[in-house]
Structure 1
Amino acid sequence: MEKVLVIGAARSGVAVSKLLKKNGYDVLLTDAKEVPEKEELEDLGIQVVDGGHPDWLLNTEYAFVVKNPGIPYRVPIIKYFVDAKVPVYTEIEVAYRFAKHFSYGAITGTDGKTTVTTLLYEMLKKAGPALTAGNIGIPLSEQVLSHDDQDTRIALELSNFQLLGIDSFRPHVSTITNLAPDHLDYMDSLDDYYSSKMRIYKNTTKEDYFIRNVDDPNIMKYAQNIPCQVIDFSLQRQDVDLYVKDGQAWYQDISLFHVNDLKIVGAFNCGNAMMAACMAYLMGVSLDDIQDVIQNFKGVEHRIEYVTTIDGVRIYNDTKATNTHSACAALSAFKENVILLCGGKDKHISFDDLKQYDHKIKHCFSFGQTKDQFKDIFTHQTSVETMQAAFAEACKIAKPGDTILLSPACSSFDQFKNYEVRGEIYKNMVHAYAKTRR
């Protein structure tokens, strides 16, 4: 029986441990923290070592190692196995090997991944059994454990962390939404970050498809020598395969949907919808089903999510904007009088891109670790300690017709568990304030 070491007992680590055990492997799971599921896992025959990684773990022979995607390769225990030339995978690769009945539409990129993935899933499930998985929050291993016995289409969101740990994973249709600086606290360089995204199509063949965003110069620089069929996409040109003309989104000579049917704001969201619709069409979804989803889709939670209107002030939650590229996309969707709430963990990324929207910003209240880095970005800016303080200050100056927008341009990990928690706290705060205004 081959032995496998799983490093990191988050949701994906627990799921992949169960999947490996089910498929006949001797599994050892380790985590630096206490593992709440330890008793359950040990009852399944999985050995659990928590509260640290003892040295004896390094003196065992493993067929391969599975690491949590969030653990950098420079962490000593990971680096040891890389240097020892032991294969190190993420759970996506393991799940793929055991999911013989799944076909994949895979999405990566800096921003827009979750919107494209969610739209694709809504379309796929119109045509038959479908699931969503990956970076969207549900481990692929978890889905394989529950659904590996039926033909299923998967809308799979992939981070570059997950892509770094694949070996044989092959999607039928894939895309990279866009590329902008991100995760420089994890990656050794920007070149490494961009290059890692290209792994999404590395195992594809002539039977597969890759949608290439020709409007993005970084994608055009890195997405070369693609082994599958390439579908060029643009919001600005019509001499490509996927384009806008006469108010419609077209794939070659096929009208996918009418642009005016979209409920989600911003030109970038039109692009997201076009990618999802094209992927769905190539995966067998009918045009009627695609158009029905387009007409009824109201957006993804935490991504330019309308919360409420208080005293004529519209309030939006864009906590998923964890970098400047994403925050710029949000700001581009509004005309003026934006009271911006931003800041968070420092990922060593410049905020200069935000300067182009200074004319739209009535005031910026920045918070968290990066609060003072916005002083030179916006003409009207105030630093505060917390998001709660930023919202309180915004409410003091907001007038009818203004927009209060939480779009942090930073990750949440300085003050919150994750961006979802940040968004939930923000929305609860907004609703609590609304009650005081009645």
Structure 2
Amino acid sequence: DIKPIEQLNINNLINKRNFRGIFGTQPPLSILEEIDYIIVSPGVPFDIPIILKAIEENIEVISEIELSYRLSNGKIIAITGTNGKTTTTSMVGEIFKESRKDSYAVGNIGLPMISKIDYSTNETSFIVEVSSFQLEGIKEFHPHISAVLNITPDHLNRHKTMENYIDQKSRVFLNQTPNDITILNKDNPITFSFKDKTPGKVILFSRLSTLEKGVFIEDNQIIIRNEEKERLLVCPVSDIKILGGHNLENALAAVAISYYAGIPIQSIRKALKKFKGVAHRIERVDIISGVEFINDSKGTNPESSIKAIEAMEKPIILIAGGMDKGSDLSEFVLSFKNKVRYLILLGETANIIENLARGQGINNIKKVASMEEAVLFSFNIANKGDVVLLSPGCASWDMYSSYEERGNIFKSLVKDLRR
């Protein structure tokens, strides 16, 4: 790791394991003489010198999910997309639990797949959230069901172009066969175009139109229409408790994944009705003096935060800004119109967002240096009936180790308001 060991908090791990660690600098190229292959963490780009040299010398470079696939038993369900991956993975995990299937929700959701392979059998299902970074390092990784939820611009600082980002996402079905299933969002033009690229059997889901085959909404009901043209009722839309149209799309994807994995509709219905969402994604934190606080720290790109803003039905005091990933923030700012009453900005992109907002005639803006200042200021200016929404539209790494840390600090500061 290029970070000094003092910043990594891994001394206990180092002391308990027999391995060589290199910290605070790039590893020397000479180390390649000692190794057989490289397993790359998702945060490590493939264009650093040691990776490029390894590839040049035909040393295998793979991601953790590729290694896990090679070592695991059971079947793999791989879920990717720009937004909604964690919510959908969690939802499918809960559906499998409801049906008492042997399964693990793993991957980019926070639990490495490698940590569960020793517990797997041929009957185990791995429900794997996979990012573009992880897919960059696959070779044989073969899910029997893959799902692409949506694709909008993100991580362009890593992938350089939108075309490359799309290519990395499409690798999720790279090794599928006609016996496998690829689940795609008909409402997203890029994911819909994958129907002509995947080797797998295509199943669509749509929030906006009825389908001859797939999962869709009709008369405010979630419907499955299968290959036999049976029209199967799953549940009323009102059973989906998590806010926002985007979360309804996530539910449709979860229904499609689960149904085609063989889960009974009764189990799908029960789990959806119980599902209350996941941390850091439009997560209700508290209501204090009539002011609601919502943590959407997982809003790490503009599209995700736009969905959160659209889901709010009250005047918004928005806390936004973070690391600059090279995303176009103009659509994010346009979504503030008639929704955001006051804008509080922090992080690397604070000036960029401020300039765009003022260009749209938005002048209720406060730049702050910390989350503590943001929360205190938001509470001081809030009126009863307002919602204070943390949805940064940007990554967290300029100020925090992760979006989870950012969200947890926000929640802790909101809790402190009651003291």
TM-score normalised per structure 1 = 0.87
Partner Cα separation in structure 2 for residue 276 and residue 291 of structure 1: 11
Task: Find the counterpart in structure 2 of residue 20 from structure 1.
Answer: none
Q: Is residue 124 from structure 1 mapped to residue 108 from structure 2 by the alignment?
A: no
Cα 1:55–1:203 change in 2 (3 A) is: closer
Q: Which residue of 2 aligns with 1:3?
A: none
Residue in structure 2 matching 1:363, options 342, 345, 354: 342
Out of 325, 334, 353, the residue aligned to residue 374 of structure 1 is: 353
* Over 4 Å off, 4+ runs: 32-35
| Aligned mate of 2:281, from 303, 306, 323 | 303
Question: For residue 370 of structure 2, what is the aligned residue in structure 1?
Answer: 386
**How far has the Cα of 1:149 moved from its partner?**
4.0
Please report the RMSD computed on the Cα atoms of aligned residues, expressed in angstroms: 2.1
CA distance in 1, matches of 2:390, 2:297: 6
Corresponding residue for residue 152 of structure 2:
180
Contact 1:339–1:364 (Cα < 8 Å) also in 2: yes
Residue among 346, 349, 362 paired with 2:324: 346
Which ranges in structure 2 are unaligned for 5 or more consecutive residues?
A: 226-230
1:48 aligns to what SS in structure 2? Answer: coil
1:335 to 313, 328, 331: 313
In the aligned structure 1, how far is the partner of 2:368 from the partner of 2:170? 39
Indicate the SS of the match to 2:243.
Answer: coil
Residue aligning to 2:384: 400
Q: CA deviation at 1:50?
A: 2.6
Deviation string, structure 1 residues 58-79 (Cα, Å, up to 9, x no partner) = 22352x3211121011111111
1:420 alignment counterpart: 404
Structure-1 separation of matches of 2:184 and 2:22: 43
The answer as to whether partners of 1:336 and 1:359 remain within 8 angstroms in 2 is no
Match of 2:200 in 1: 228
Is 1:213–2:185 an aligned residue pair? Answer: yes
Aligned CA distance change for structure 1 residues 386 and 67 (closer, same or farther; 3 Å): same
Aligned match of 1:259: 237
How far, CA to CA, are the matches of 1:351 and 1:321 in structure 2?
13
1:126, distance to aligned residue in structure 2 (A): 2.4
Q: Is the 8 A contact 1:34 1:50 kept in 2?
A: no
Q: Return the offset for 1:150.
A: 5.6
Separation in structure 1 between the aligned mates of residue 383 and residue 262 of structure 2, nearest angstrom: 49
**Deviation at 1:434?**
2.1
Residue aligned with 2:335, SS: helix
The Cα of 1:239 is off from its aligned counterpart by 3.1
Q: Contact 2:29/2:50 (CA < 8 Å) preserved in 1?
A: no
Which residue in the other structure is 2:30 paired with?
56
Matched letter for residue 269 of structure 1: N
User: For residues 244 and 59 of structure 1, do their structure 2 counterparts lie closer, same or farther at Cα, with a shift above 3 Å needed?
Assistant: same
Answer yes or no: is the 8 Å Cα contact 2:320–2:392 preserved in 1: yes
Shift of 1:215: 0.9
AA matched with 1:423: G
Identity over the aligned pairs, expressed in percent? 32
CA distance in 1, matches of 2:293, 2:160: 37
3-state SS of paired residue (2:337): helix
Paired with 2:156 and 2:55, the residues of 1 have a C-alpha distance of 21
What residue in structure 2 maps to residue 71 of structure 1? 44
The separation in 2 between residues aligned to 1:143 and 1:317, in whole angstroms, is 30
**Given that residues 99 and 148 in structure 1 are in contact (C-alpha distance below 8 angstroms), is that contact kept between their aligned partners in structure 2?**
yes
Amino acid at match of 2:142: R
Contact persistence 1:256–1:290 (CA under 8 A)? yes
Residues matched between the structures, number: 402
Query: Which residue matches 1:19?
Result: none
